[in-house]
Structure 1
Amino acid sequence: MPDALSEWVAARVAEGRYADAAEYVRDLVRRDQEAAEDDTRWVRAMIEEGLASGFLDEEPEDILAAIIAEDPDLRA
Structure 2
Amino acid sequence: MATMNISLPDPMKQWVEAQAETGRYSNVSDYVRNLIRREQERGDKIARMQRLVDEARPSGISDLTMRDIRALALKQAGMNA
Runs of 4+ in 1 over 4 A off after TM superposition: none
Is 1:42–2:34 an aligned residue pair? no
> 2:69 — aligned with what?
none
Deviations 1:14-67 (A, max 9, x none): 11000111000000000000000000000010111102228xxxxxxxxxxxxx
Gaps in structure 2 of 5+ consecutive residues: 1-7, 62-81
* Secondary structure of 1:42's aligned partner: helix
Say how many residue pairs are matched: 54
- Percent sequence identity over matched residues? 35
Gaps in structure 1 of 5+ consecutive residues: 55-76
Larger Rg: 1
Match of 1:11 among 18, 23, 27: 18
> 2:58 — aligned with what?
51
| Higher share in helix | 1
For the aligned residue pairs, the C-alpha RMSD in angstroms reads: 1.2
* Secondary structure of 1:18's aligned partner: coil
Q: TM-score scaled to structure 1, two decimals?
A: 0.66
Separation of aligned partners in 2, 1:28 and 1:53: 38
